[in-house]
Structure 1
Amino acid sequence: MAEEVLECISLRVPAEVMETFEAALSSVCRAVSFYHDEDADEWDLQGVKERGEYEDDLAAALMVAEMVSGFSPEITRGLVPVGGWLARTQQAFPEQLIGARFAIRGTHIEGPELPGRITITLDAGLAFGTGEHNSTRGCLVTLEDLVKRHHPQRILDLGTGSGILAIAAAKLMHKNVLATDIDARAARVAKENAKLNGVADRIHAIQADGWSDSQITKAAPFDLVFANILARPLCAMAHHLAAHLAPGGVAILAGLLNTQVNWVVSCHRRAGLVLEKRLVDGAWSILTLRKR
């Protein structure tokens, strides 16, 4: 069987506008990598997506990024085998220390785990979530702060991607987590990563189409829901989220730009959720909302 080939969108931008263009690519691409040229203080960004898909969304996202930043980068496209892109990305994936509790490392990193930190091992891949992205990092920091005052029993990671948030919750709180993704490939990756991190018995990773799937609704109500996806689907699902949160339950929402916060908060306020905290990480915001 021939190896899967994806389209790679590449661009080079100054440091001051990197986050704006990284956000634009992340809103469309399955995965985004970035490399810093320290001598020129510029960033090479690469996003991969299926050939010919989401072209209108990509064009709109890049247009907004150019308007916001005032910078118009040269954009190149090419085809890349999945295996080659992953190998190149993994080589540039160092261990990351996030918050006070988490350390994220690839399987290529050897050596003892850092004392006092929860180590999560996973490789940079095509399922979103390695801790490098602001949204994922912000969710981990928010989770670390949340457990100081909230002790959820029923946890859902909606749009789990690599499974990083589900794994973090399972390791930090020693609780069971339902991890779901509309992409069957991501669900498989999350299951593999749960096994790699020794929490396969705590994480049930499945392919499911959001709140329309009975596997999710039957497990409700939830005390904690992660939804690190995008602003538009977050707004579309606001009432479903509220309906399946337990009273006093908390939702950690991410994948939204700072410019989209008011829209997302307004949709969820109408559904009966209250904004408890907002964490800003670069161009991205992570929201903590609670059901009254």
Structure 2
Amino acid sequence: MLEGLPPNNAAHVMRLSCDEATARLVSDVVVETFDPADAAVAAFEEKPSTKDWSGGPWLVEAYFGSAPDEDALRALVAATAGEAAARALTFGRVEARDWVASSLEGLKPVRAGRFVVHGAHSRDEIRDHEIAIEVEAALAFGTGHHGTTRGCLLLLDKVARRRRPRAILDVGTGTGVLAIAAAKLFRRRVECCDIDPVSVATAAENARLNGVSGLVEPVEASGLSHPVLRRGAPYELVFANILAKPLRALAPQIAAASEFGADVILSGLLARDAPGVLAAYRAQGVVLQQRVDIEGWASLLMQKRA
């Protein structure tokens, strides 16, 4: 599981060797606590030949563009995973390219319904019937290993079994995995946006890599006021895989941009945040159809009813 892009060519790193459950807890709390522009997290199981520690089979690596507050991080980990994990943290510096490459080497393709998200190193493992989405190793955010992306892909697969939406929007596209998946599946244009210019460039490059650059052309936008996004409305399918707070704030805009009966797939929220997000959308006439929980993260399939 990887989340975030290394903020600079050289990064400050926090490492923790531990069991899988602790690795997932720690990586999730770092993702939830820090802005993606400031921190990147990788949590993965190391191959036996590369293990050189005694703490456990999993490694968490959190990367920061500037020196983090070590005491604050230890306190955060202690509150989440216990004092032993906090004491086991180590800090240092590393070249960003090194961690991206080494992290992705140990990651297997991720399958969600008919979709598979993979790196270039796993091309030979793709099956004939699968819709493959390749993510460049140097662009690690949103590889599909995070529970939110997997949940959204599973819900997209469900939607596709009953309809073929014509107008599609991906809000907070990240690396563009969801937009690329929809473009490949439906062979339709997918409007997409992100507040971060690095993510916009990343999504555009991944669209080119996956042969859908003519269908996926991300724009930099905060909210849905960009002329390109307005022209595409009303939408029959909307993705918003961001975080709970912006999901709540965007509820009126997303509802207004969705036509009656539209499917709205929301994610990026911890399970405990789901009730607040559901309430915000219910107030806009968008109601829950199905919920998928993966690794403590919730993905919601909603439908506009009013």
State the TM-score, normalized to the length of structure 2.
0.84
Unaligned runs of 5+ in 1: none
Change in Cα spacing, 1:62 to 1:256, as seen in structure 2 (3 Å) is farther
Shift of 1:231: 0.7
How far apart, CA to CA, are the structure 1 residues paired with 2:244 and 2:182? 23
Equivalent positions of 1:202-217 (< 5 A) are 202-217=215-230
Structure 1 residue aligned with 2:3: none
Shift of 1:283: 0.5
Change in Cα spacing, 1:49 to 1:157, as seen in structure 2 (3 Å) is farther
Structure 2 residue aligned with 1:156: 169
Match 2:21 to one of 16, 22, 35 = 16
Contact 2:74 2:89 in 1 (8 A): no
Q: State the Cα deviation string for residues 146-180 of structure 1 (Å, max 9, x = none).
A: 11123211111111111111111111111111121
Match 1:191 to one of 184, 204, 218 = 204
SS state at 2:145 partner? coil
Structure 1 residue aligned with 2:260: 247
Contact 2:101 2:138 in 1 (8 A): no
Match 2:58 to one of 18, 43, 67 = 43
SS state at 2:218 partner? strand
Whether 1:4 aligns to 2:4 is: no
Whether 1:31 aligns to 2:40 is: yes
Contact 1:157 1:180 in 2 (8 A): yes
Change in Cα spacing, 1:133 to 1:175, as seen in structure 2 (3 Å) is same
Q: State the Cα deviation string for residues 179-237 of structure 1 (Å, max 9, x = none).
A: 21111111111111111111111112222222243332332221111111111111111
What amino acid does structure 2 have at the position aligned with 1:211?
Answer: L
Q: State the Cα deviation string for residues 31-63 of structure 1 (Å, max 9, x = none).
A: 32112257865421112233268x7xx959973
Contact 2:17 2:55 in 1 (8 A): no
How far apart, CA to CA, are the structure 2 residues paired with 1:44 and 1:126? 20
Change in Cα spacing, 1:202 to 1:61, as seen in structure 2 (3 Å) is farther
What amino acid does structure 1 have at the position aligned with 2:259?
Answer: A
Contact 1:273 1:291 in 2 (8 A): yes
Contact 1:194 1:203 in 2 (8 A): yes
RMSD: 2.6
SS state at 1:211 partner? coil
Q: Among the aligned pairs, what percent are the same residue?
A: 34
Whether 1:89 aligns to 2:110 is: no
What amino acid does structure 1 have at the position aligned with 2:200?
Answer: A
Change in Cα spacing, 1:49 to 1:159, as seen in structure 2 (3 Å) is farther
Unaligned runs of 5+ in 2: 1-7, 49-53
Structure 1 residue aligned with 2:5: none
What amino acid does structure 2 have at the position aligned with 1:247?
Answer: F
How far apart, CA to CA, are the structure 2 residues paired with 1:223 and 1:128? 26
- Larger CA deviation: 221-230 vs 9-18: 9-18
Whether 1:174 aligns to 2:187 is: yes
Contact 1:127 1:161 in 2 (8 A): no
Q: How many residues align?
A: 286
Structure 1 residue aligned with 2:241: 228
State the TM-score, normalized to the length of structure 1.
0.87
How far apart, CA to CA, are the structure 2 residues paired with 1:103 and 1:62? 37
Contact 2:26 2:80 in 1 (8 A): no
How far apart, CA to CA, are the structure 2 residues paired with 1:214 and 1:246? 18
SS state at 1:139 partner? helix
Change in Cα spacing, 1:126 to 1:113, as seen in structure 2 (3 Å) is closer
Change in Cα spacing, 1:62 to 1:125, as seen in structure 2 (3 Å) is farther
Match 2:124 to one of 102, 111, 118 = 111
Structure 1 residue aligned with 2:4: none
- Larger CA deviation: 192-201 vs 35-44: 35-44
SS state at 1:218 partner? helix
How far apart, CA to CA, are the structure 2 residues paired with 1:116 and 1:282? 27
How far apart, CA to CA, are the structure 1 residues paired with 2:226 and 2:292? 30
